[in-house]
């Protein structure tokens, strides 16, 4: 009998960790995979510990909305995480209660950054230590967005978007979206913590994926019913066939607007002299905007 009781207790303790009973709207139950830093306020940070001990050394501190990947669920209310891109990531431990979990959490938690401007060139490295490989160089007077801070003036530079938040096609896929760690000198200008008004997010269940949004935007461009004023007819010939549109550079992203708490697909086609932006509802049913512009 005692053995059965032990099994039942073990099952109940592991229930949250197994992902059982987690609904699409549940952002508080710890789980493996995507999570975001969620401090009590936007002026506060979430610590990344060197060991699975909240009283131990702190490696970095992250602003609200920073994306992390949970790699293990531990006892004592701690989780193992990695933060950053594969070539420029740091690993450690966070309190499970300091995170929100799943795709929907990205929209539920304010995304905050600090802007910094350096007076001189600064090497950006693969890890927050002087001997780490240099990935790229921050140019004089160049502004970067910072998502985390460490000791000795180390900062972790935030990406403009995360890998699952944007798709670039054509030559646009060479657009820089660089990350890494930099040791900021005292001469650098440091701004205040600011919550972004809008930012790109990964699609949730029931919304189009990137390929579907791209295909739907092409349908809209080629369907004359969405162009009552003839705006699209004045665009170059390349915009009037599926083959031509698919040959253009394109940027596809699902943008989340904080004020309205709504997301919309933005699909931008970029030609030699003209550009075109199509905005759609997340499910693709409604066309929100058709905006020609200069390439």
Q: What's the token pair of residue 131?
A: 């001997």
Whether residues 117 and 191 share a domain: the answer is yes
131's CB contacts (< 8 A; 6+ apart) are none
pLDDT for 119 equals: 83
Whether residues 121 and 182 share a domain: the answer is yes
pLDDT for 176 equals: 60
H/E stretch holding 145: strand 143-150
Matching residue, tokens 């066939």: 241
Nearest-5° angle of CA 136, CA 85, CA 16?
160
276 and 221 in contact (C-beta within 8 Å)? yes
pLDDT for 21 equals: 65
Q: Which of 151, 169, 196 lies at the terminal end of a domain, its last residue? A: 196
143 and 117 in contact (C-beta within 8 Å)? yes
Whether residues 96 and 164 share a domain: the answer is no
**17 assigned to some structural domain:** no
**7 assigned to some structural domain:** no
Per DSSP (E only), the strands in 30-77 are: 33-37, 46-49, 58-62, 67-73
Whether residues 141 and 213 share a domain: the answer is no
Whether residues 133 and 176 share a domain: the answer is yes
Number of domains composing the chain: 3
Local confidence pLDDT in tens for the 295 residues of the chain:
444 444 433 443 344 444 456 787 899 999 999 999 999 999 999 999 999 999 989 999 999 999 999 999 999 999 999 999 888 999 999 999 999 999 999 999 999 999 988 888 999 999 999 999 999 998 888 888 999 999 888 999 998 888 899 999 986 444 466 899 999 887 677 788 999 999 999 999 999 999 999 999 999 999 978 887 788 888 899 999 999 999 999 999 999 999 999 999 999 999 888 899 999 999 999 999 999 887 6
**64 assigned to some structural domain:** yes
Give the domain range for residue 75: 26-108
Q: Is 264 helix (H, G, I), strand (E, B) or coil?
A: strand
Q: Is 234 helix (H, G, I), strand (E, B) or coil?
A: helix
Dihedral, 211, 87, 183, 91 alpha carbons, nearest 10: 100
Matching residue, tokens 């394109």: 250
CA distances from 124 to 118, 128, 131 (A): 12, 9, 11
CATH number at residue 184: 2.30.30
**133 assigned to some structural domain:** yes
Whether residues 182 and 155 share a domain: the answer is yes
pTM, rounded to two decimals: 0.86
pLDDT for 8 equals: 37
Whether residues 116 and 146 share a domain: the answer is yes
Whether residues 72 and 119 share a domain: the answer is no
**Burial grade of 2 (CB within 10 A; 0-12, 13-18, 19 or more):** exposed
pLDDT for 120 equals: 87
**18 assigned to some structural domain:** no
Whether residues 190 and 218 share a domain: the answer is no
Whether residues 210 and 264 share a domain: the answer is yes
**234 assigned to some structural domain:** yes
258's CB contacts (< 8 A; 6+ apart) are 110, 195, 196, 197, 198
**1 assigned to some structural domain:** no
Whether residues 119 and 179 share a domain: the answer is yes
**14 assigned to some structural domain:** no
Q: Which of 196, 214, 234 lies at the terminal end of a domain, its last residue? A: 196
Q: Which of 196, 221, 238 lies at the terminal end of a domain, its last residue? A: 196
């Amino acid at each position: 009998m005692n053995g059965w009781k032990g099994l039942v207790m073990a099952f109940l303790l592991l229930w949250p960790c197994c992902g059982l009973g987690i609904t699409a709207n549940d952002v508080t139950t710890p789980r493996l995979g995507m999570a975001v830093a969620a401090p009590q306020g936007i002026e506060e940070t979430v610590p990344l510990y060197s060991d699975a001990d909240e009283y131990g050394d702190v490696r970095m501190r992250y602003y609200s909305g920073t994306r992390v990947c949970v790699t293990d669920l531990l006892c004592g209310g701690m989780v193992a995480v990695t933060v950053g891109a594969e070539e420029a990531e740091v690993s450690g431990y966070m309190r499970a209660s300091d995170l929100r979990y799943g795709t929907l959490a990205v929209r539920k938690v304010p995304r905050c950054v600090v802007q910094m401007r350096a007076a001189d060139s600064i090497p950006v490295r693969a890890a927050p230590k002087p001997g780490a490989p240099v990935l790229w160089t921050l140019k004089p007077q160049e502004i970067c967005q910072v998502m985390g801070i460490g000791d000795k003036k180390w900062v972790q530079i935030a990406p403009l978007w995360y890998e699952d938040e944007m798709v670039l096609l054509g030559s646009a896929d060479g657009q820089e979206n660089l990350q890494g760690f930099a040791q900021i000198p005292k001469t650098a200008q440091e701004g205040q913590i600011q919550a972004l008004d809008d930012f790109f997010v990964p699609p949730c269940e029931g919304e189009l994926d990137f390929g579907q949004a791209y295909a739907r935007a092409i349908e809209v461009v080629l369907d004359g019913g969405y162009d009552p004023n003839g705006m699209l007819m004045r665009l170059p010939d390349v915009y009037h066939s599926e083959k031509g549109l698919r040959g253009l550079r394109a940027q596809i992203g699902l943008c989340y607007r904080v004020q309205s708490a709504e997301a919309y697909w933005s699909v931008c086609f970029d030609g030699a002299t003209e550009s075109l932006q199509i905005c759609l509802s997340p499910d693709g049913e409604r066309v929100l905007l058709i905006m020609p512009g200069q390439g």
